Structure 1
Amino acid sequence: MKLVICEKWKSATRIAGILSDGKAKKIRRAGIPLYTFSRGGEEWFVLGLKGHIVSIDFPEELREWESVPLEKLVWTQPIRIVSDEKIDKAIRSFSDCHDLDIIVATDFDREGELIGLEAVELLKRYNKGIRSIKRARFSTLTRDEIKRAFLNLTDIDLNLARSAEARQVIDLVWGATLTRFISLSAERKGKDYLSIGRVQSPTLSLIVEREREIRSFTPKPYWQIVALLRKGTRFSALHHEGNFFEEKVAREIYDRIKDEKIASVESYEEIKRKEPPPHPFDTTSFLHAASNILGISAPRAMDIAEDLYMSGWISYPRTDNTVYPKDIPLLKVLEGLSRLYPREVGIVKSKLRKVPSRGKKTSTDHPPIYPVGTPPLEELDDQHRKVYDLIARRFMATLMKDSVVEIRRCRLIIGGETFLAEGKVDVEKGWKEIYPLRDRERAIPKMKEGEEVDVLGIKLLRKLTTPPKRYTQGSLIIEMEKLGLGTKSTRHEIIRKLYERRYVTGSRLIPTESAFAVVDVIRPYDISKPEMTAHLEKEMDRIAEGGKSKEEVIEESRKLLEKVLRSLREDEESIRKALRSAIREQSRVGRCPVCGKDLVIRFSSSGKRFIGCTGYPECKVTYPLPQKGFLEKTGKTCRCGAPILRIGGKERCVNPDCKR
């Protein structure tokens, strides 16, 4: 008898269908659906889990926040708890099966390896007649790859699983200890607690520090002299000095030449330049493109990609690889896309490059993200279609010849002053015919040295310097990767958590007052800096590589945490005051129209949020709030006297009885 363990029900359905050639029957054990079929003269079962079936937590006696010394949490060994009793019972139902062969077919990464190992360890606890334990490794849920994986079974990678276990323990101990310290200091408990962690904290610090740069930025005026010209078509040229930071100098030049009608061409050159196609998608570049090109948040984009993967339409979306392995039949994959993209595939075939584009990162666990099937688009929602289309077009672009652009540069003399004009036009579009880019041509006409060009007008423009841009989800993920914060599998989840904890709002990440308060508190300590977190990430990589034990890395992390906690304890009183002041300011949304006291966001005993008056119980003014979505203060008051908040991107009066 063979039992196949899959990570999710959807992947179990697909794998069972492939292995049984569509003949698998759906049955139930302990209320959990699974598949059974006969293959090679043996009875097979395929069980789909729901991710991790074993979680870790502190013992019951350490779960009371206020009575447990935080120093005790640092060195307490978490306990392992079966978190899904139904699946545990389904696994237990195989306890009397002798000569049982187990095949782990979870996702091939750290978490997938640990999820499979959790199920195996439960099976070993219940069944003493296990004959073998093997691993099926694959990067796509296609028929060919699944069959090949089951013909070439390997062993479970224990080092990879232990690395994931170390991350679980480290994240729990760090998160619980520091979150309790910050939340208790701020008097924020229950569902409204403040959270910090070893990856979350330096990431939040990046956002807050960028916002500080923006808010402290003082715009400086500067001036530009721009000439509007015509030679067949209109184009503009900028004075060769670029930006003038002294108005007097710019105005003197402008006043001298403002009435000139002719510009003479001093020099003109054309340079052809090749622009290679983008490299294949790894997780980071995919999430960045989904955010910047499609406007889909990083967590949502990853959810969609995982769904497309489990449906057999794309390869595994958690990968650091930007180089196609040689065993991927790229032309066959391209041909498969012709059903959905007949025109585009024809263009690609006419402009194929000898070797596909490649990035700097390569790994052996998974290939880059690429399409492996063609879904029925009518069955996909709009966002799923857009994500699939992005991945398909990126793949096709990586197979195409370079784009060729012509750079045109011109020096012109107007009234004795030098002006510069530059334009760029596509000579050969190459891969740009397929892949979406926000790349506008800036054309200037062809010119000859010594010829004259009409001057239509000259302007003196006053402008202001601009602050750095806020992070988008896409740009933040790239910065996190650069600094070693998190992994390909966790960065989008960190961003999701920042939104859930109401530390940030908006598509361009704007930190809230509580984010400023938390970062101000942790700024002097190592927990706010990426170096310590990046070091721990590298240590966990060493576990996966077999260079260090799980126990060594966990102990080192506890020592680092102990040092951080000791430093926080020394400043506990000032931390408490700063946090409580900031939280009060963030929760305040306006003045009570009845008594004039502050209206604040409160939480009921059941965790539901609402607006209440600080004059309670004497004043009983309250307003309901939606229980989901981000709330932003506008500083505005409705004519009815209630505050106006921005809820889900729209400004709304919070008074449900407002007639105005």
Structure 2
Amino acid sequence: MRVLCVAEKPSIARAVANILGGGNVNMRESNSKYIKNYDFSFNFAEAGNCEVTMTSVVGHIIRLETKPENRWGMCSHGKLFDCDLVELVDKQDVFDNISKEAATANKLMIWTDCDREGEYIGFEIFKAANKGNRRIQIADIWRGKFSHLERNHIIRAANNPIRLDMKSVAAVACRMEVDFRVGTSFTRLLTESLRQHNLIESKEVASYGTCQFPTLGFIVDRYKRVKSFVPEAFWFIDVEVMKDGTKSGFNWTKGHFFDRLYVLCLYERCLKHDFGTIVKLESKPTTNWRPLPLTTVELQKDCSRYFKMSAKRALDAAEKLYNNGYISYPRTETDKYPPTMDFRGIFEKQKQDSRWGSYANDLLSSGHQMPRNGSHDDKAHPAIHPVNYVNLAALDNQDQRKVYEYVVRRFLACCSKDAVGMSTTATLKWGDELFTASGLMVLERNYLDVFIYKKWESSKQLPSFTEGEQIKISSGKMKEGKTAPPNHMTESELIALMDANGIGTDATIAEHIEKILTRRYIAKQKVGKNEYIVPSKLGMGLIEGFDKLEFENISLSKPFLRRELEKSLQDIVNGTKIKAEVFAQVKEVYKKAFAKSNENIRVITNECQKLMR
């Protein structure tokens, strides 16, 4: 029996072939310079000893396209919502290699990433294989379910194949058709209109995407809030006392007020008293919780926050680490580890490192904590974790080194005890007003010793106050402050907003941010140590123009439409809706929005002109 195995990337094909072939693998060239074919033997649990060829694709190999009569400039833009589409082979040499290798195969086994997109790419692989061998049918396909490249894990996946998830295939097909029809129609409309008014260069494209514009909308909304902000004065009472040579500041429990006269009245009452009274002392244990297991979104947010690394760079580095077998699959929504996780095995591999090895060894000798479980589980992959050890110096670049070290330290932190401290709060009564001061003593750092990115330190300790103690007020002042504007958007904040509003998936968030950056709808600005994202004049004009159209019950610059689509796609996966039903509903909404945009395109171009000239 001959089995054709196809992975999603060449590096995965090579790694899986070497594991299953036990090192006894013959490599052959293909017609594609990126693709190799690996021949070996493997004893499958379901089929016995088989001759195997392992090859791969490089992502999608088939794309949607219009027929020639509906290409750009050949038809009205609105026709794209209803015209026939065709599937074109996007990478002919890769497609032909699969067809050729399938011709003599008895079985097809898919080794694509275990997410929705991976299921659809698996379906594309089936189409290529079926062209070369009509005996290969959907019902006969094996599908390897794996999340990392550790040897025993891959062998288990080979011996316990599942079926291709055709409901996930249908969901991705629905999303792809929506994005293609909506994206091409609006993109042609915007591009031609902006070119006519010399608002973009003749070779530039003003693309529209159902995720791109809500992402841009978040940035524009924040920018407008910053620019329209008007500072407002407020007043508060500030108190200091001196004891045992230590000066302690107390904060007014009422915060602040915008009514100066009201605060002045309260302050004048306080001034009648030279002493205050410690009316309450409270000391209690406090805990700084260790982090939850790592998801893709958290990885991107933290890399942006700690390393000033873009979401795309972080995901690219994680992908390379995964392809090389160092970490688990980095595209996951799951923030928990499976009960079968071999924690001690991972500690054993990491104890050789000079930076965190002694900490890993302590977890081995003293015992580890079971990680906290989050509330998310995508049923496809566990939370991101290290699989094999690699010396940082052996990695290709700084991005990979930072991401790998972060993943390891986060994993060790998850398996550690929470940090423990003692918090002390003193309440001072001066006149009729109450003020508080707090101090923190960190007693056990625990996970903080390995998770170096988070700070939790002892504060200046309070003097030894006693309840009922009378203490002289050394300074009591009424002070004025002003409200401050919000900061512009950071990439970490943007990722969190996109995730919370269902804009893109954990795997595509980085792509959407990168796309609007490439289109020059946004720019990144560095202010001190921080980097902010602001809209360009073009980006601002497009959002302002669409917002002025006032569509009925919808917005093309807000996240609601895309969020509803994502929910409907999950309904297809769950089997409660079918693709045709979801597509028809979504298409009708966007078709009406396009018709209104087409009729009022001058409103959009006017807004862009107003800002750009």
TM-score by length of 1: 0.82
Shift of 1:403: 2.3
More moved, 131-140 vs 45-54:
131-140
Task: Tell me the equivalent position of 1:306.
Answer: 319
**More displaced stretch, 143-152 vs 126-135:** 126-135
Letter of the 1:75 partner, please give it. Answer: D
Alignment of structure 1 residues 412-451 onto 2, 5 Å: 412-413=428-429, 418-435=434-451, 436-445=453-462, 446-451=464-469
Superposition map of 1:361-510 within 5 A: 361-380=376-395, 381-413=397-429, 418-435=434-451, 436-445=453-462, 446-451=464-469, 457-458=475-476, 460-506=478-524, 507-510=531-534
Deviation of 1:191 after TM superposition, in Å, equals: 4.2
Q: CA deviation at 1:208?
A: 0.9
Q: Is the 8 A contact 1:185 1:579 kept in 2?
A: no
Tell me: CA distance 1:440–1:68, structure 2 relative to 1, closer, same or farther (3 Å): farther
Shift of 1:75: 0.9
Residues 1:515 and 2:523 are matched in the alignment: no
Q: Could you say which residue in structure 1 is the equivalent of 2:607?
A: 578
From 139, 148, 155, give the equivalent of 1:140: 148
**Per the alignment, in what secondary structure is the counterpart of residue 374 of structure 1?**
coil
Q: How does 1:222-237 map onto structure 2 within 5 Å?
A: 222-231=234-243, 233-237=246-250
The CA distance in 2 between the partners of 1:183 and 1:463, in whole Å, is: 48
Q: In structure 2, what is the equivalent of residue 566 of structure 1?
A: 595
Corresponding residue SS for 1:532: helix
Secondary structure of residue in 2 paired with 1:574? helix
Partner of 1:9: 10
What residue is the counterpart of 1:69 in the other structure?
76
Alignment match, 1:35: 38
1:226/1:353 Cα in 2 relative to 1: closer, same or farther (>3 Å)?
farther
SS of the aligned residue for 1:369 comes to coil
1:179 corresponds, among 187, 194, 197, to 187
1:617-645 deviation line (CA, Å, top 9, x unaligned): xxxxxxxxxxxxxxxxxxxxxxxxxxxxx
Q: What is the CA distance between 1:5 and its match in structure 2?
A: 0.4
Aligned length in residues? 582
Say whether 1:343 aligns with 2:367.
no
* CA shift for structure 1 position 297: 1.2
Q: Contact 1:407–1:425 at 8 Å: present in 2 too?
A: yes
Q: Give 1:248 shift.
A: 5.3
Between stretches 525-534 and 453-462, larger displacement belongs to: 453-462
Residues 287 and 420 in structure 2, CA contact (< 8 A), matched pair in contact too: yes
Q: 1:185, 1:580 within 8 Å by CA — same for their partners in 2? A: no
1:332 matched to which residue of 2?
345
Unaligned runs of 5+ in 1: 586-660
Letter in 2 for 1:543: I
Tell me what 2:46 maps to: none
Q: 1:136 offset after TM fit, Å?
A: 0.6
- SS of match in other structure, 1:192: coil
| Partners of 1:362 and 1:470 in 2: CA distance | 32
Amino acid at match of 1:116: G
Show structure 2 runs of 5+ residues with no match.
44-48, 525-530
Equivalent of residue 63 in structure 2, options 55, 70, 82: 55
Give runs of aligned pairs for residues 607-622 of structure 1, distance below 5 A: none
Is residue 116 of structure 1 aligned with residue 122 of structure 2? yes
Task: Describe the shift of the 1:348–1:95 C-alpha distance in structure 2 as closer, same or farther (beyond 3 A).
Answer: closer
Are 1:533 and 2:562 counterparts?
yes
Letter of the 1:68 partner, please give it. C
Q: Could you tell me how far apart the structure 2 residues matched to 1:454 and 1:14 are? A: 73
**Farther-moved stretch of structure 1 (275-284 vs 300-309):** 275-284
1:28 positional shift: 0.4
Displacement of 1:460 in angstroms is: 5.0
The alpha-carbon deviation at position 418 of structure 1 amounts to: 4.0
Give the letter for the 1:437 counterpart. K
Alignment check: 8 A CA contact 1:235 1:444 kept: no
Q: Specify the alignment match of 2:528 in structure 1.
A: none
Q: Distance in 2 between matches of 1:27 and 1:290?
A: 39
Task: Report the alpha carbon displacement of residue 176 of structure 1 after superposing the two structures with TM.
Answer: 1.0
Note if contact 1:185-1:575 (Cα within 8 Å) is conserved in structure 2.
no
8 Å CA contact 1:104, 1:116 repeated in 2 = yes
The 3-state SS of whatever aligns with 1:367 is coil
Determine which of 355, 359, 371 is the counterpart of 1:356. 371
Q: Secondary structure, in 3 states, of the residue corresponding to 1:509? A: strand
For residues 471 and 121 of structure 2, what CA distance do their matches in structure 1 show?
71
> Match for residue 25 of structure 2?
24
CA offset digits 1:554-585 (Å, max 9, x no partner): 22222111111122234233233223333x33
Residue 120 of structure 1 deviates from its aligned partner by 1.6
2:239 alignment partner, SS class: strand
Residue 79 of structure 2 corresponds to residue 79 of structure 1: no
User: 3-state SS of the aligned residue for 1:444?
Assistant: coil
Residue-by-residue CA offset, 1:188-239 (whole Å, 9 max, x unaligned): 4654222222122222112211211111111112234433444454432123
Instruction: Give the residue type in structure 2 aligned to 1:555.
Output: A
Change (3 A) 1:344 1:461: farther
Equivalent residue runs for 1:70-109 within 5 Å: 70-94=77-101, 96-97=103-104, 99-109=105-115
Q: Show CA shifts across 1:377-417 (max 9, x none).
A: 11122221111121112212222222223221112245776
RCO higher in 1 or 2 (8 Å CA, sep ≥ 6)? 2
Give 1:532 shift: 1.7
Q: Which moved more, 1:189-198 or 1:5-14?
A: 189-198
Query: 1:79-117: per-residue Cα shift (whole Å, max 9, x none)?
Result: 1111112212322332542x4322110101111111122
Query: For residues 325 and 454 of structure 1, what CA distance do their matches in structure 2 show?
Result: 59
Aligned with 2:437: secondary structure?
strand
The alpha carbon displacement at 1:130 in A equals: 4.0
Contact 2:103-2:129 at 8 Å conserved across structures: no
Q: Partners in 2 of 1:438 and 1:302 — Cα distance?
A: 25
Matching residue's letter, 1:516 = M
SS at match of 2:438: strand
Quickly say closer, same or farther: Cα 1:573–1:382, change in 2 above 3 A: closer
SS of aligned partner of 1:508: strand
Instruction: Show the 5 A alignment for 1:542-557.
Output: 542-557=571-586
The answer to whether the Cα contact below 8 Å between 1:140 and 1:312 also exists between their aligned partners in 2 is yes
